[in-house]
Amino acid sequence: MFQRRALCRAAFAAVSLATLGAPSHAADYPERAIKLVVGFPAGQSSDTSARRIAQSMTETLRQPVFVDNRPGAAGIISHEAVRNAAPDGYTLLLGSTGTLAINPALYKKMPYDPLKDFEPVALVSASPLVLFTAASSALKTFKDFTALAKARPGKVGYGSSGSGTTGHIAMEMLRKDAGIDLLHVPYKGSPAMMTDVIGGQVEVAFDTAGSVLPMVKNGRVKIIGVAALKRLPQAPEIPTLAEQGLPGFEAVPWSAILAPKGTPAPVIQRLNEAINVALKDPAVLEQFGATGNYALGGSAKELQAYLQKEHALWGKAVAISGAQVD
């Protein structure tokens, strides 16, 4: 009898602790520093945006939020590290269109599943791709570009920062929608690609507005179309591609913050609130505006739906492009 009562008391205590544990943990969270893993080198646009958001989150959460750069393997290294991290809210991931929507369709073998291995926290920002050419180019509009491509099928080159990147996949979408045949010239990164566009070795390329606008200001390139449904606030005089004969065309890379699968819902909610506060911070918005980004935000459920939609959209685009990495 005594043994049975002891077991009952122990079981009751375990249930009580389990019941009280989650709310108590959420109420106390965070109790130490939080790591935001970024799969890009320090100094790149994604890194600088992440650091600005981390600074604002630090003020809200009253614990340090610091960026841990884990570049390499098209973001796979950073995502695998977070997938394997403890689901306690102290390791977060900055994901992107490339790592969460393109990679799954591009790579035959992936060490992570973007829809199953992470808990969505919040959308962060987006930066539309822009179609640009050398400042010295005779091209002035998207119509000029399509006319040139149709006059020289398969011979007009476009650059990308690598096979399977957002710029490559977006251009393949454009090629299909516009009914033109182009020559893909992949580079090892955006700087080399930008150099050859400026030098006229390739005619055009897609890159984010944040990367191209500074080159426009110093007179080295010009934008002939914006791959969004609205014009850029930073350059409202430049028409969208949708306005120039490609109705509904958009290619807008985005970023989002996620956590390891199994991170408690109250912790996700606390992080979501802190991120949404950061995305209203004037300093964050100023930094976004300077780099051609705009804030998104919203709930974790909204991010989950968004990821599913983008996963299908870019997966279809990869299939159209024919790009594949073993």
Question: Domains along the chain?
Answer: 31-126+253-321 (3.40.190.150), 129-244 (3.40.190.10)
* Least-confidence region, from 145-159, 250-264, 306-320: 306-320
Confidence (pLDDT) at 162: 87
Q: Mean pLDDT across the stretch 132-154?
A: 97
Instruction: State yes or no: pLDDT of 14 exceeds 60.
Output: no
Residues of the chain above pLDDT 70, percent:
92
Largest CA distance in the chain: 94
Beta carbons of 63 and 31 less than 8 angstroms apart: yes
User: What are phi and psi for residue 189, nearest 5 degrees?
Assistant: 110, 160
DSSP designation for 34 = E
**How far is residue 287's CA from residue 280's CA, in Å, rounded to a whole number?**
12
- Banded pLDDT at 306 (limits 50, 70, 90): very high
pTM confidence score: 0.84
Beta carbons of 257 and 124 less than 8 angstroms apart: yes
**How far is residue 218's CA from residue 258's CA, in Å, rounded to a whole number?**
36
Torsion over CA: 299, 305, 310, 311 (sign): positive
Length of the chain: 326
Confidence (pLDDT) at 326: 60
Residue 205, Cβ density class (10 Å: 0-12 exposed, 13-18 middle, ≥19 buried): buried
pLDDT digits (tens, 9 = 90+) for 117-133: 999 999 999 999 999 99
Confidence (pLDDT) at 148: 97
Q: Mean pLDDT across the stretch 165-181?
A: 93
Confidence (pLDDT) at 240: 97
